Amino acid sequence: MNYKGYLIDLDGTLYNGTELIETAKDFVAKLTEKNIPYVFLTNNATKSQEEAVQKVLDMGVETTPENMYTSSMATAAYIKQHHRGSTAYVIGTPSLKEILQDSGIILTEEDADLVIMGLDLEVDYDKLSRAALLIAGGATFIATNPDKRFPTEDGIVPGNGAIQQVLIETTGIQPVTIGKPSGFILDGALKQLGLGKDEVALIGDNYDTDILTGINAGVDTIHVDTGVSRTEDVLKKDITPTHTINNLSEWSI
């Protein structure tokens, strides 16, 4: 089936950690050659748009910032729309904090209106305790993404969603989730792509984020068996992807 454009996941689909998936690189090159628009749609909130693009470029994949939409960008858009001017305690990388500041929040560690959580490789007990106390005190809990597992070149490691469980179990409060499978990040990516839901396919490896995004929104999905969710497990789900392939060399455009 021919689509006018594609939404393509990064971690587990284009690469695993620092290891490029060559079949995905070739697929992106064909899209460029045939002038088929695409947007990399990633739940990774550790990098800015520019940093995420640079990682792809450093791996030898030609792309531009216009082809990148991250959960940190989606979270910033959500803040601009709903919480501009609020104070926030942010767990995450310096890049995430900077993009959120630019969206109109004021960073604080005391009496925050919001607690915003992204993947923080330096997260510790003190950060989690502070966040839990703020949420229990009435701060709105926002998560950039719910990924419990994160694919690297060495294997699967804990993702932001796994660490969020500490706060969920402690406070009993579920976060407002911005990244996949939320429709908020999908709407932003489609706007950037300039196409409608019925014109695109969403490509990804993770059933619980990538594939459910499409299923929830009525967007066709293509599952690739190169990352988190194995095909044998995906095919046991009550609702399966529109298409299931081993890797992107099997997809014709």
Q: What's the mean pLDDT when you consider all of the chain?
A: 96
Sequence letter at residue 206: N
Residue where one domain finishes, among candidates 177, 207, 234: 177
Cα 156 to Cα 150: distance, rounded to the nearest angstrom: 5
pLDDT tens-digit map of 38-97:
999 999 999 999 999 999 999 999 999 999 999 999 999 999 999 999 999 999 999 999
Scanning 114-245, the segments in alpha helix (DSSP H) are 125-136, 160-171, 183-193, 212-217, 231-234
- Structure token pair of residue 154: 């060495």
221 contacts 3 by C-beta, under 8 angstroms? no
Based on the number of CB atoms within 10 Å of its own CB, is 235 exposed (0-12), middle (13-18) or buried (19 or more)? exposed
pLDDT at 105 over 90: yes
- The reported pLDDT for the residue numbered 178 is 97
- The boundaries of the domain holding residue 240 are 5-71+180-250
Cα 204 to Cα 66: distance, rounded to the nearest angstrom: 19
- The reported pLDDT for the residue numbered 2 is 87
Please report whether residue 77 resides in a domain.
Answer: no
pLDDT tens-digit map of 208-250:
999 999 999 999 999 999 999 999 999 999 999 999 999 999 9
CATH number assigned to the domain comprising residue 158: 3.40.50.1000
- Identify the band that residue 156 occupies on the pLDDT scale cut at 50, 70 and 90: confident
- Identify the band that residue 152 occupies on the pLDDT scale cut at 50, 70 and 90: confident
Whether 64 and 186 map to the same domain: the answer is yes
pLDDT tens-digit map of 68-80:
999 999 999 999 9
Whether 196 and 140 map to the same domain: the answer is no
pLDDT at 1 over 80: no
- Structure token pair of residue 41: 């749609």
In the chain, the percentage of residues whose pLDDT exceeds 70 is 100
Number of domains the chain contains:
2
Please report whether residue 76 resides in a domain.
Answer: no
Whether 93 and 164 map to the same domain: the answer is yes
Whether 145 and 184 map to the same domain: the answer is no
